[in-house]
Chain A
Amino acid sequence: METAVTFTNASGVRLHGVLHRPEVIAPGAPGLIWLSAGQKPRQGAWRMNVLLARHVAASGVPVLRFDFEGLGDSEGERYHGRPVMDFYGLVQTGAYRQDVVAAASFLVAETGPRPLVLGGLCGGAASALFAAPMLGRRVRSLALIDLPVTVSSAARQQFLEQHPEALVRARPDVADTVMALYARKLLDVNAWRRFARGESNPKLFAEALRVKARGALNGHVARVPAALRPHIEALLGPPVGDVPAPDAPPAPAVAARAEVRNELLVPILREALAAGQRVRFLNSSSYHPVFMAHLGERELGGDEAALRARGVTLSAAPDTNHIFSLEHSRRALFEAVSAAVRDAYDPPRSAPQPPTRA
């Protein structure tokens, strides 16, 4: 049974949402709080949040979805007129964690004491992770889908619009896209006309080409005699990855980087794990390289068994976009969240086993 609900956050602002209350709550079942991404209302892209909540509630688990302050049906206009990228930056650094804490109290008050699962996609994942330490042992597990590992800002966005080659340098996957676009332009008469008028941006194409070449040759440079390596490096140009653009404006300093790593994530993640919370990361294939570059390789190294011993599961869904809208990626997302819910059962539940032959 779905019920429209209202509760207040720490500032006294009324937040609206929907509580999915199963007719019979499964014994030992946790409660799931599924959080909205970025500036989106609680239904999510392609109603993902609605369908996911119905899927989880059908297994006897209560689920709460709600709108953060100033979004969806909830009250407040605190962020009206702000640049969206700055708003994202706030969400990525935990601006809504107090709303999550209020939601946790509400869910427990409505459905009785039970372990909690926090989860969300993108900004929803950030809100979940930042609220988790505040709720301590009340949270048993986290389902973090495409957790943002960098911090957005309008100043940096503006810089990147003026210097798209900086983004290509920082994100080799963007270089692939640029190359693909230029390949299509070879057959486009209007593109040739723009080229003839000098309206194309050859710097962008040249940088994409260089990034691709550098990626292809990187493994071979180590085999070149040491004396020659500096010359090869000079030919290949600046390294690829999160690097400051050389021609960036001096201030604000943060704008000078194509992407800025969210340095708050590592201590928060460690705090969550220290509180015994299990963390399931699921990334879309399109986002996984960025995640690994900024958080995965630094903090989540080691093999699967070592990660599991720390209470972490990390996986990537193949051929998947950031909003998981394709059918196979929807299934992967639903399964990851269901697994996080199973992690939080009291006592813990194992995954459903396929029937075995007698």
Chain B
Amino acid sequence: MSEALRDGFFFDAAGARLYGFMHPARAPAKPVACVVVHPFMEERQDAHAVLRSLAVALAARGHATLRFDLYGCGDSEGDWRGASLARWCGDVAAAADLLRREAKPAEVALVGLRFGATIAGLAAERAGASRVCLAQPVVDGAEYADELLLAHLAAEMVLHRKAGTTREALAARLAAGETVDLFGYDLTGALDREIREVDLARALAGVEVRALVVEVARSATARESREVKALAAALGERATVRRVVEPQTLYAEGKRQVARADELNREILAWMET
């Protein structure tokens, strides 16, 4: 692996410089190398340490691992106005190609969290991934898009003590092709429409890929995720489904500082050995 691609670096993908962080294998190299796909908006911020710890753990087991920022996210170039699901899937494919060139693995796995898992699933075929690990994936894009709008309205409530608009009004503006400033991110009508059309279970139904689907619950008694169930059913025998209990939230600010998710890491590391 070239020295310039250790730690942080920038690489080109479809004309934009994307930020990457390489974790070379620190044990005898295993045949599977991993590309990590981050969640979006503030979930990306709060999940950063957890995904970094996962990458460190994978590298320690011999899996060269690449973390990177998608177009318009993190330290990469661009903004959401120029983003699309196709662009983001292309970024994942470019990252997988880079990892193949540098680490020369027999296989590449994509590992994603939340909407990052969704992008990993959608990009699996294009990236030539033999396996995908989907941690707490967003399966129903429409539901997720509504969650984004509601989170924005909640933030407005805190500031102005009234929302000033409604979810329906924001959705109507997006449907009319307008761009809505969501908590500092410019969500275009086109991107909103793409997100709403996502049905990960349907998208993965015909893709020849092995999958680990991990539901992250806050307690052992938490209700089973309907989305994870639907996804597992669609994937059938190709999927291994696991449920882990992480008492601290992994992608939102919780009560304790979270630098790693031990249970999640354990399941993913074990599955990588299979």
Contact = CB atoms under 8 A, between A and B. Distances in A.
A83 B255 contact: yes
Contacts of B185: 46
A315 B160 CA distance: 20
Given A5-B8, A16-B21, A177-B161, A47 B257 contact: no
Contacts of A321: 155, 158-159
A176 B160 CA distance: 10
A77 B259 contact: yes
Contacts of A330: 184
Interface in A69-111: 70-73, 77, 79-85, 87
Interface in A107-142: none
A81 B254 CA distance: 11
Contacts of A72: 48-49, 52
A343 to B, nearest CB: 27
A43 B254 contact: no
Interface in B251-269: 253-260
Interface residues of B, number: 35
Given A4-B19, A39-B253, A327 B181 contact: yes
Contact of A82 (B10, B48, B256): B256
B257 A39 contact: yes
Given A16-B8, A73-B8, A327-B181, A43 B75 contact: yes
B257 A80 contact: yes
Interface string B63-74: 000000000011
B8 A84 contact: no
Contacts of B74: 43, 47, 50
A271 B54 CA distance: 43
Nearest to B47: A41
A40 B184 CA distance: 16
B21 A82 contact: no
Contact of A41 (B10, B48, B162, B256): B48
A47 B256 contact: no
B159 A18 contact: no
A48 B184 contact: yes
B52 A83 contact: no
B183 interface: yes
Contact of B161 (A4, A154, A180): A180
Interface string B23-53: 0000000000000000001100100110011
Main secondary structure of the interface of B (DSSP, over half): mixed
A73 B45 contact: no
A300 interface: no
B48 A4 contact: no
A185 to B, nearest CB: 13
Contacts of B19: 4, 18
Given A73-B8, A77-B259, A325-B184, A43 B161 contact: no
A145 B53 CA distance: 31
B60 to A, nearest CB: 13
Interface in A35-85: 39-48, 50, 70-73, 77, 79-85
Contacts of A46: 41-42, 183-185
A358 B253 CA distance: 56
Interface in B142-173: 155, 158-162
Interface in A1-24: 2-6, 14, 16-18
B256 A81 contact: yes
Interface in B199-240: none
A6 B184 contact: no
B197 interface: no
Nearest to B159: A321
B102 interface: no
Of the candidates B19, B183, B255, B256, the one having the most CB atoms from chain A within 10 angstroms of its own CB is B256
A316 interface: no
B9 interface: yes
A330 B185 CA distance: 12
Nearest to B17: A2
A265 B162 CA distance: 34
Interface of A: 2-6, 14, 16-18, 39-48, 50, 70-73, 77, 79-85, 87, 154, 176-177, 180, 286, 319-321, 323, 325-327, 330
25 contacts: A2-B75, A4-B9, A4-B19, A18-B8, A18-B19, A18-B75, A39-B253, A40-B45, A43-B74, A47-B73, A47-B184, A73-B48, A79-B257, A80-B257, A80-B258, A83-B255, A83-B257, A84-B253, A84-B254, A177-B161, A180-B162, A286-B158, A319-B159, A326-B181, A330-B184
Given A43-B74, A73-B7, A79-B257, 12 more contacts: A2-B17, A6-B8, A72-B49, A77-B259, A80-B259, A81-B259, A82-B256, A83-B256, A84-B254, A84-B256, A87-B257, A323-B184
